Copies of this chain bind each other. A is one copy, B any other.
């Protein structure tokens, strides 16, 4: 095992396994085995290779390895809008869990459109990602199937494609809305409006459906004018609230389907001089981290979006490792945080 000089590498950009092997005086395959701890080989050779690799500061080419092994240890992450705190925190949770399992994440933003989402999935598949984590904007089962082959496991979170993927993680949308409506009823409200999100997304439609069911069950007023479906953005919430306030008979209370929509509602009320919670009660699905510092402080059902990301990542890792496990559905629970926007006195929570 003589260390050959590491000469004749003119401008060659990268140190390769061959260089290491050469330096250690062994063949490339032996070097590979030593580095990966596969196969039996003499402690001496192993040590020599390891030393060579260290001396040369060898960094294996992930590309070459992936091409050969047909696995990239990369997962694709697709969300409608990464600037949204919810998705950003999901991403952080997922990234942490994936990193721990040895996976890297490639991020794509679908810009809230199905076309963007399809493009994102195609790009990711062209990169041969080992798995997919997606919060869909509402792809159909058939569209999804046409784009993503069965071989690449996919876990949906927040918003799902029916009968597709290796699993899904969603929030307890129904339970959360129930708690919100119940709480408003406890405050004596009978005429409650909802700021609903996009109906193409699971969390939009499930929350609206739960609202309809809950208000019916409670015998509350059923006025179609009280249901406003819009996108998740703050300004959409603002506009929808403005419309509600202009109704001949405005609502007594509003359920916002997300923190952004609640903020929009707050903004609209401030604009119109409507005082919360006296003239209008407000509760929200999503408890933003500054919820307690708003005026009035926000009553909401909360949860940790990081849990959603972590759970989805865990499911995906499982699906990527064990082949052909049945699809699993997880639900992340939510809990009510009572503050002042609903009409509760200060200092309750």
A residues near B (Cβ < 8 Å) are 13, 59-64, 66-67, 70, 72, 74, 77, 81-85, 88-89, 91-92, 95-96, 99, 104-109, 122-123, 125-128, 151, 234, 263, 266-267, 270, 288-290, 292-296, 306
Contacts and interface: CB of A to CB of B under 8 A. Distances in A.
B59 A126 contact: yes
Contact of A104 (B59, B91, B123, B288): B123
A38 to B, nearest CB: 19
Given A63-B72, A82-B92, A263-B293, 7 more contacts: A62-B126, A63-B128, A77-B107, A105-B107, A107-B107, A290-B290, A295-B295
Nearest to A270: B293
B292 A293 contact: no
B306 A290 contact: no
Number of copies: 2
Contacts of A96: 109
Contacts of A126: 59-62
Contacts of A13: 70, 151
Nearest to A295: B295
A185 to B, nearest CB: 26
Interface centre among A126, A290, A292 (most CB of B within 10 A): A290
Contact of A62 (B88, B95, B128): B128
A157 B217 CA distance: 53
Interface centre among A60, A61, A234 (most CB of B within 10 A): A61
Nearest to A111: B96
Contact of A95 (B109, B293, B296): B109
Contact of A106 (B59, B104, B294): B104
Contacts of A70: 13
Interface centre among A13, A64, A82 (most CB of B within 10 A): A82
B81 A92 contact: yes
